[in-house]
Structures are given as C-alpha cells and as structure tokens.
Structure 1
Amino acid sequence: MSVMDAYLAAASQAASLLRTPEVDAAWERPSALAKMTVGGLAGHLAYQIFSVSSALEEPESQRQPIPLLEHYARAAWIDAPLDGEVNAGIRGKGEGIASEGALSLAERARTALAEQQTNLAGCSGDQAVFMPQTGWTLRLDDFLVTRMLEVAVHMDDLAVSVGVTTQDLPDAVFDPVLVLLARLAAGRHGQAALLRALTRAERAPAAINAI
C-alpha cells in the first residue's frame, strides 16, 4: 500500500469516528486533553484532513523539502507550555473549527476525504508541499506521514474522551507511524533507552515519550 493509500485509510477511520453519536453527544464536554472540549479535539482531528486538502490546492512548492525528522526538530509545539501561545493557538483553532457543530464537521470531513481520493491519484509522493503554518516544505509522502501520526494519536484521544474503543489501524498506517515515533523517541532519549523500554522492563527509563 502506498503512503497516499495509507493516509486515506487513516483519514477514513477518523472521519468515521467523527460521525459517531458518542462524539455528538459529548461535544460540549471536556476531552481527555487539558483545556480542550470534545468538540475542540474533534475539530483538531478534522483539521488533519482539511490540511491535506489545503496542501493539494496549492501549486507545487519550488522550495527544497526538508527531511521528515528535521520537521519535528524545528516544530515549535513540541515541549511548548500548555498555556503558551503555540498550544493556546492550537486549542483555539480546534474550537473554531468545532463551532460549526458535530454533524456539519463530520460531513465536511467526509466530503474533503472523497475529494482527496481523486486528487491524490494524480500526485507524486516526491512533490514538494509548502506548509504555511511552519514556513517550510516537505515531500508529499512525508507530509502525509505527519498527518497519519496526528490522526493516530488524536483518534485515540477522541475515543478515550467519549468512551468508545480505540480502533486498530491497518499495518500500512501503523508501521510508518510507529517507525517515526520510535525515531523521535530515540532522538530524545537515546537508542539504549528505547531498547530498554521495549525489551528490559527492569532497566526501562521512567519516560520514553517521542513528542
């Protein structure tokens, strides 16, 4: 399965979760994430789909794409304080997207995904995608892996928030997300710490978070 097909599979699961009655019923309640409502979290999840539509609408960037791991090395939101400007902005954007309501948001996500199934078919994974929210460019395949990571993490957040079971992802989605998280964790804590966390419980570090 190509990265594009894997992304579409992940986004399809996200769109299905957004349509569930449990999400609709809990819309105004606090989510599992601090200072975010269920609606705001759903808006943030839906944004991962919408951001792909926005990227595909732009002409191919003429800037040189940066490596995927460099993208995370530069990311301002990693380790940013909960009440800092970056995280407040992320929460505000999610809540703004959520203001249209659960049913409308779910339908807009479904429509965007249907359009992407057609539009991605004409794209190359190597084409350059400019990310206006960061100011740099990624290869399309790398950009889609960042979306898969976001979708995987926030589907779990949303499922926990509304009391439904987190659905397993297809291997074609989970494998690149797992590799990316493992590389980020090793970069943050060292290879030995990651190996011990996975194989030696008696020597496992107290934390092995990737982001």
Structure 2
Amino acid sequence: MSDSRADFLAAARAAEQLLRAPEVAEAWRRPSALAEWSVGGLAGHLAFQVLCVSEALAAAPPTETTIGLLDHYARVAWVGAELDADINVRIRQGSEAFAADGPAALHRRVDAAVAELTTALAAADGTRPARLPFWGPWSLTLDDLLATRTMELAVHADDLAVSVGVPTPGLPPETADSVAALLARLAVRRHGWVGMLRALSRAERAPGSIAAF
C-alpha cells in the first residue's frame, strides 16, 4: 500500500532536482508551456507545493471536521475556472512573487524544506487535521493533504520539464500509482465511470477527453 508521506517526499525530491537544472535558470524569464505563466512563475508554483506543507505542519491543527479528497476538489475555486478568472490570476501572481528572488534562492528554500520535512513527516500523525489558508474554511487529514501536494508536484514538474526541454522527472512506482489513482478518481467525478471505462478499454468508444481538470 502506498504511504502518503513517502510519496510526497519522493515527489518533492524529484521536483527539487528539476529546480536545480541549469535549463530552468536559463529559461527563467521566458514563457512556459502553460498559457500566461513564465518559467520562473511555474517554478515558484512547483516549489510552493513543498513549502506550503512546512507551513501546514507548523500551524496549530485546525478544529473543524475534516472532509474527503473528492469533497475538497468540489470546493476549491480553481477547478473549472477560466484562465483569466480572479483565482487563477491570483495564483499566477503569487507564484511569480514567490520566485522573485531567482532560481538559486528558490532551489535553496526547497532543498532546506525537503530536508526538514524528511524528519518532520516521519514523526507526524497522518490522521491529524491540516489545512492551507487559501483553501477556505475546511481541512483534510495530513495524509490527504499530502496526496493533493504529491499530485500537484507530479503535474507541475511535467509542466516545467516540458517548458525547458528536459525529461520529466521519474517517480517510484508506488508514488506514480498514487498520483494516477487520484487523477482517475477526479476524472470519474468529472466525466463519469462509463467515460473512464471506455477511455481505458475501448478506443473506438472513448470520449474526446477524460482529463481530471
């Protein structure tokens, strides 16, 4: 069975290696593969997926009842939002600001956070409530929060690698499976079970897309 803490750390280490790639620094101010994102902004967004876990662990556990992963994705404002929606503009601007000190400084912050989290997560209770302040007034278990960050790390590492022309970082099989499982659940939520079934088994009846988002 996959371990959410091991999965997160594996994805975080892969992202840290990508962030130190010279191709990322060289392309820092260029447009990325994502519309309206620079390479530096995308790197900042990738780094944030690690650094925000340190913030969540440092905060006092929230007192509200935790919700499930699919309920979480039903509430977040960015799912289904247009590129120029206020939430997406704020995410892009925040990511650019996060990376404002440049690639070397960003990489050092992530490197330090990964080292700190390797110890902190080993001692953490995966069932404790945890929340990120920009979500809204709800929390997840720490294990579920880590699952959301692991998926974000995998997706945005691919975005960044494509943007600078380097291979997408590999993940251990267990971690890749956990990311695929979460994306599959979200795809079923969006497109329905039959759409997922056909996309994976019957190309002639497959829908045009089963993208999770």
- After TM superposition, the score normalised by the length of structure 2 is 0.97
Residue 116 of structure 1 aligns with an amino acid whose one-letter code is: L
Measured after TM superposition, the shift of residue 168 of structure 1 is: 2.2
The CA deviation string for residues 28-59 of structure 1, in whole angstroms up to 9 with x for no partner, is 00000001100000000000001101001011
Cα pair 1:131 1:138 within 8 Å, conserved? no
Determine the C-alpha separation between the residues in 2 that align with 1:140 and 1:105. 25
Measured after TM superposition, the shift of residue 67 of structure 1 is: 0.4
For 2:155, the equivalent position in structure 1 comes to 153
Measured after TM superposition, the shift of residue 66 of structure 1 is: 0.4
Cα pair 2:162 2:168 within 8 Å, conserved? yes
Correspondence for 1:193 among 186, 190, 195: 195
The CA deviation string for residues 111-168 of structure 1, in whole angstroms up to 9 with x for no partner, is 0111111111211110100221112100000000000010000000000000001122
Residue 103 of structure 1 aligns with an amino acid whose one-letter code is: A
Residue 206 of structure 1 aligns with an amino acid whose one-letter code is: G
Determine the C-alpha separation between the residues in 1 that align with 2:103 and 2:3. 31
Determine the C-alpha separation between the residues in 2 that align with 1:63 and 1:99. 34
Residue 17 of structure 1 aligns with an amino acid whose one-letter code is: L
Determine the C-alpha separation between the residues in 2 that align with 1:86 and 1:47. 16
Cα pair 2:62 2:129 within 8 Å, conserved? yes
For 1:47, the equivalent position in structure 2 comes to 48
Residue 22 of structure 1 aligns with an amino acid whose one-letter code is: E
Residue 105 of structure 2 aligns with an amino acid whose one-letter code is: S
For 1:163, the equivalent position in structure 2 comes to 165
For 1:140, the equivalent position in structure 2 comes to 142
Structure 2, unmatched stretches of 5+, are none
For 2:112, the equivalent position in structure 1 comes to 111
1:40-79 maps to which residues of 2 (within 5 A)? 40-79=41-80
For 2:103, the equivalent position in structure 1 comes to 102
Determine the C-alpha separation between the residues in 2 that align with 1:45 and 1:9. 14
The CA deviation string for residues 7-40 of structure 1, in whole angstroms up to 9 with x for no partner, is 1111000011000000010000000000110000
Residue 20 of structure 2 aligns with an amino acid whose one-letter code is: R
- Hey, which bits of structure 1, 4+ residues long, moved more than 6 A? none
Determine the C-alpha separation between the residues in 2 that align with 1:99 and 1:131. 22
For 1:175, the equivalent position in structure 2 comes to 177
- After TM superposition, the score normalised by the length of structure 1 is 0.98
Residue 82 (str. 1) matches residue 73 (str. 2): no
Between the aligned residues of both structures, percent identity stands at: 52
Determine the C-alpha separation between the residues in 1 that align with 2:105 and 2:186. 35
> What is the aligned residue count?
211
For 1:19, the equivalent position in structure 2 comes to 20
Cα pair 2:126 2:141 within 8 Å, conserved? yes
